[in-house]
Structure 1
Amino acid sequence: MEKLPKIGLPILIIIVLTIVFVSKSTKTIGSGEAGVLYKTFGGGVVTDSPPLGEGFHLVAPWNKVYVYEVRQQEVFEKMQVLSSNGLEIKLDASAWFQPNYDQLGLLHQQKGENYVARVLLPTIRSAARSVVGRYTPEQLYSSKRDAIQEEIFEETKKIVGNQFIQLNEILVRDVTLPPTIKEAIERKLRQEQEALEYEFRLEKARKEAERQKIDAEGKATANKILNESLTEKVLKEKGIQATLELAKSPNAKVVVVGSGSDGMPLILGNQ
C-alpha cells in the first residue's frame, strides 16, 4: 500500500509533461491567416514549402510559428510632396495590399513582420513624390487626380511586387494645396467658366441672328415669287372666284360688275 503513492507520482509527472508537450506542440491558424514555420534545429525559416494554412497544426515544441494576415488590408498615409513648380502639396492616400501567400516564408525571412513600415509605406511615399513632381498645382486640383492615382499605383507595384507584397490599389483620398494657391486656382477657374458662358451667349446670339436672316431671306424670296406669279389674268380670276363665294353668303350686298378701276367687280354691302 505504501508503494502506490511512489508509483503514482511518476505517472502524474508524465501526464503533466505530456500535457505541456502537447500544448506546446499545437498551433491553431485563424481565418484569413497563414503561419510561417521556423525550425530551430532544421535550417530556420521554411521557404521551400507553402505556409501553414487555417486550422489546427502539430508543431514540435522547439519550433516556432509566425502568424501573418493574408487577407486584403488597408494602410493610410499622409504625405507632403512638391509639385512641378516647387509648391508644397499635402497628399492623403491609402493602399490596399496583402502578402504573397506562396512567398510568405521569404517575406518573413527577408523583410520581417514589420514589412508594411519597412517596405510598403516608404515605397508609396517615394512613388508619390516622383509622380506629383510632374504636375502643376492646377492639374493636381482639377483634372489629373485619377492619372496621379494610377501612376502612383504602377510605380509602387513595380517595386513591392519584387518584395513579396501584392498591391491591389492606391487611392488618393485628398489633395490639399496652400490656401493662397487654392484661392488663385478657384478664381481662375471661375473666370474661365464665365468666359465660356460669355462665348456661349455670343454664339447663341450669332446663331439667332443667322436664323432670323435666313427666315427673312426666305420670306423675301417667297414674296418675290408670289408677285411674279400674280399676273392680271390671275388676279381677275381670283376676284371672280371671291365674288361668287360672297354671292352665296346670306348677308345683303350689292355686286357691281366691272365698276372697279381695273375692271374687277365691286361688292357693296349694308354692313
Structure 2
Amino acid sequence: MEFQSRSRVPLLVLAVLLLGAVIFGLAGTIGSGNVGVRTTLGVISSEAVTPGVYLKWPFISSISEFSAKEVAIDLQDLTPKAKDNLSLRDMDVSVYYKVADSQIPALQVKYAGQSVRDEHSGIWLPAQGVVMRIVRNAVYEEVARVDSLVMHTKRDEMAASIRRNVQAELDRNDPHVFTVTRVVIRAVVTDPSIEESIRAAVANQKKLEAMTIQTEIAKKQAEIRVTEAEGIARANKIIADSLTREYLQHEANQALQTFAEKGNTNTVVVPANMTSAPLINIPAHTGK
C-alpha cells in the first residue's frame, strides 16, 4: 500500500504541473484527428506534434494546429466554357481531401502561405490554396470536354473524372501525401437559351421514342399480315395441287349422279368434253 501511494505522488504532481501550465498559458492541446506544427526561432520542425497536451516555450517556439481530417473545398459561381463554346451561368463544386498527418510539417515548409485558417475553429487547413487551384483547373478542363446541352446528364461522370485528374496532379507533385476522397457537383446552371434548347431536345427525344415504338408496332403488325398471307397462299397451293383432272372428273360424275337420281325431272345434262355416257333419269310412266 505504501509503495502504491508513493507511485501515485509523481503522477499527481505531474497532473498539477500540467494543469498549472495550461492555466498560465504554458501548455496547449492538439485535438484528436489533428496534428501540430512547431516553429522554433523561425524554423519549422519536421516532426508533427501528436494529439494531446504539449508544452509551450514562449518567445522561442509556437505550435499551430492543422487538420488531418477530411477537408472540404467549395467552389461556387464558376462560369466555365463548355465544348460547344457556350459558358455556363453558374457551377458549384465541392471537393473533399485528406493529407497524411506525418507530411503536414513538410507541406508547410514547401507551400508556405498556402494553408488556410478556418474562421470558426481556428484550425489550419493544410495546403488548401494549392489544392484549390488544381481543383479549379480540373473543373474547367472537364467542362471543356462536354457539350452544354448534355452536361446536366453527366454529373456523376464529370465528378469521377475531376476526382481522378485532381488526384493524378497532386500525386505528380507530392506522391502519397494527398487523398481526394470525393467530388460532388452541386449545381450546373446553363444559360436560359441553353435551358430552352435542353427542354426542346428532351421533348424531341420523347417524340422520337414514341415514334420508334409506333414503328415497331407497325412492323410487327405487317409481319403478322405477311405471315397470314403466306399461310393462306400455302393452303391454296396445297388445295390447287390436289385438284387433279381425274379428281375433278370424279367429283363431276358424283354431282351428275346425285342430280340424275332425284325424282320428278326430265332434264338431261351433258357436260362439255364428257368422256363417259350421259346419265339420264326417265321417270316411270304412272298411267295417268
How far, CA to CA, are the matches of 1:150 and 1:64 in structure 2? 40
How far, CA to CA, are the matches of 1:30 and 1:262 in structure 2? 122
* Segment drifting more, 62-71 vs 191-200: 191-200
Secondary structure at the counterpart of residue 50 of structure 2? coil
> Whose helix proportion is higher, 1 or 2?
1
CA displacement 1:9-43 (0-9 Å, x = unmatched): xxxxxx99x94598544332212211112223xx7
Q: Give TM-score scaled by structure 1 length.
A: 0.67
How far, CA to CA, are the matches of 2:85 and 2:241 in structure 1? 76
Secondary structure at the counterpart of residue 87 of structure 1? coil
How far, CA to CA, are the matches of 1:46 and 1:71 in structure 2? 21
How far is 1:260 from its partner?
4.6
For structure 1, the 5+ residue unaligned runs are: 1-14, 234-258, 264-271
How far, CA to CA, are the matches of 1:200 and 1:21 in structure 2? 77
CA displacement 1:126-168 (0-9 Å, x = unmatched): 22122212222123233x3333223322332233343554322
How far, CA to CA, are the matches of 1:38 and 1:202 in structure 2? 76
How far, CA to CA, are the matches of 1:116 and 1:153 in structure 2? 17
How far is 1:181 from its partner?
1.1
How far, CA to CA, are the matches of 1:116 and 1:91 in structure 2? 23
How far, CA to CA, are the matches of 2:200 and 2:260 in structure 1? 74
> Given that residues 33 and 67 in structure 2 are in contact (C-alpha distance below 8 angstroms), is that contact kept between their aligned partners in structure 1?
yes
Q: Match of 1:80?
A: 79
> Given that residues 29 and 56 in structure 1 are in contact (C-alpha distance below 8 angstroms), is that contact kept between their aligned partners in structure 2?
yes
For residues 23-172 of structure 1, the aligned pairs below 5 Å read 23-40=24-41, 44-47=43-46, 49=47, 51-61=48-58, 62-78=60-76, 79-89=78-88, 90-109=90-109, 110-112=111-113, 113-114=115-116, 115=126, 118-142=129-153, 144-161=154-171, 162=173, 164-172=177-185
> Given that residues 34 and 101 in structure 2 are in contact (C-alpha distance below 8 angstroms), is that contact kept between their aligned partners in structure 1?
no
Secondary structure at the counterpart of residue 68 of structure 1? strand
Secondary structure at the counterpart of residue 79 of structure 2? strand
- Name the amino acid aligned to 2:133: P
Secondary structure at the counterpart of residue 170 of structure 1? strand
Q: Match of 2:234?
A: 221
> Given that residues 26 and 56 in structure 1 are in contact (C-alpha distance below 8 angstroms), is that contact kept between their aligned partners in structure 2?
yes
CA displacement 1:65-99 (0-9 Å, x = unmatched): 11112111222111111112332212111011122
How far, CA to CA, are the matches of 2:235 and 2:259 in structure 1? 28
For structure 2, the 5+ residue unaligned runs are: 1-15, 117-125, 248-256, 262-288
For residues 222-241 of structure 1, the aligned pairs below 5 Å read 222=235, 224-225=237-238
- Name the amino acid aligned to 1:121: M
- Name the amino acid aligned to 1:46: S
> Given that residues 33 and 68 in structure 1 are in contact (C-alpha distance below 8 angstroms), is that contact kept between their aligned partners in structure 2?
yes
- Name the amino acid aligned to 1:65: I
How far, CA to CA, are the matches of 2:259 and 2:72 in structure 1? 100
> Given that residues 21 and 27 in structure 2 are in contact (C-alpha distance below 8 angstroms), is that contact kept between their aligned partners in structure 1?
no
> Given that residues 92 and 185 in structure 2 are in contact (C-alpha distance below 8 angstroms), is that contact kept between their aligned partners in structure 1?
yes
> Are 1:197 and 2:210 counterparts?
yes
How far, CA to CA, are the matches of 1:262 and 1:153 in structure 2? 101
User: How many corresponding residue pairs?
Assistant: 220
- State, as a whole percentage, how many aligned pairs show the same letter: 23
> Given that residues 108 and 127 in structure 2 are in contact (C-alpha distance below 8 angstroms), is that contact kept between their aligned partners in structure 1?
no
